[in-house]
Amino acid sequence: MFKVRFVGGIACMVATMAGCGVATASPHANSPVPSEPTLINYVDPSMVRGLSTRSLNSGEAAGRRVHATYPAVADAPRLTEKLFKTVTASLARFAGNDVPAGALPNPEFNVDWQLAAASPEVLGVRLRIGQSMGSGWSESRTTLWYDRANRRALESPGLIRDSAALTTLAGIVRRELALRGPLVNPNALRPERSMFDSLGFNPRGDLVVEFDDKQVGLGVAGRVAVAVPSATAAPLLSETGLRARRASVGTATLISQKDMLAASMDRPAARSSKAGTVDCAKARCVALTYEDGPGPETGRLLNILGAYRARATFFTLGSNASARPELLRRMRDEGHLVANHTWSHRDLSVLSSAMLADQLTRAQHAIVQAIGQVPTLMRPPYGGTDEQVTSVARRLGMSVVRWSVDAEDRDDPDPRAIARRTVSQVRPGSIVLMRDFRPATVDAAPAILRELAAKGYTFVTVPELYGPRAMEPGRTYDSGTMSNVPDRRSMS
Are 232 and 317 found together in one domain? no
- Other CB atoms closer than 10 Å to residue 101's CB: what's the count? 6
Q: Which residues are 399's β-sheet partners?
A: 377
Spatial separation of the C-alpha atoms in residues 6 and 1, rounded to whole Å: 16
Pairing of strands 476-477, 199-201: unpaired
Number of domains, the chain:
2
Assigned domain for 90 exists: yes
Of 199, 234, 255, at which residue does a domain stop?
255
Statement to judge: residues 251 and 265 lie in one domain? no
Q: Is residue 175 part of a domain?
A: yes
Domain of residue 286, CATH code: 3.20.20.370
Q: Which helix (H) or strand (E) holds 108?
A: strand 108-118
Measure Cα distances from 290 to 72, 293, 300, 462, 491 in Å.
22, 8, 13, 11, 19
Q: Are residues 98 and 155 in the same domain?
A: yes
pLDDT in tens, the chain (492 residues): 333 332 333 333 333 333 333 333 333 333 333 457 898 878 999 999 999 999 988 655 567 899 999 999 999 999 999 999 999 999 999 988 887 666 678 899 999 999 999 999 999 999 999 999 877 899 999 999 999 999 999 999 999 999 999 999 999 999 999 999 999 999 999 999 999 999 999 989 999 999 999 999 887 778 899 999 999 999 999 999 999 999 999 755 556 677 777 777 789 999 999 999 999 999 999 999 999 999 999 999 999 999 999 999 999 999 999 999 999 999 999 999 999 999 999 999 999 999 999 999 999 999 999 999 999 999 999 999 999 999 999 999 999 999 999 999 988 999 999 999 999 999 999 999 999 999 999 999 999 999 999 999 999 999 999 998 889 999 999 998 754 433 333 333
Identify whether residues 234 and 269 lie together within a single domain: no
- Cβ 460 vs Cβ 430: under 8 Å: no
Residue 343 shares a structural domain with residue 414: yes
My answer on whether 309 and 170 are in the same domain is no
54: Cβ–Cβ under 8 A, 6 or more apart, which residues? 69, 70, 71, 72, 80, 84, 295, 296
Is residue 202 assigned to a domain?
yes
In a domain, 486, yes or no: no
The answer to whether position 1 is within a domain reads no
181 and 200 part of one domain: yes
| Domain stops at, among 198, 228, 255 | 255
Residue 99 counted as domain residue: yes
Is 492 within the bounds of a domain? Answer: no
Q: What is the CATH number of the domain that holds 249?
A: 3.30.565.40
* 255, 286, 309 - which closes a domain: 255
Instruction: Find the domain containing 353 and state its range.
Output: 261-477
Q: Confirm whether 421 is domain-assigned.
A: yes
239 and 92, same domain (yes or no): yes
What helix, strand, coil percent values describe the chain, rounded to 5? Answer: 35, 25, 40
Shared-domain flag, residues 343 and 443: yes
Count Cβ atoms within 10 A of the Cβ of residue 307 and give its class: 0-12 exposed, 13-18 middle, 19 or more buried. Answer: exposed
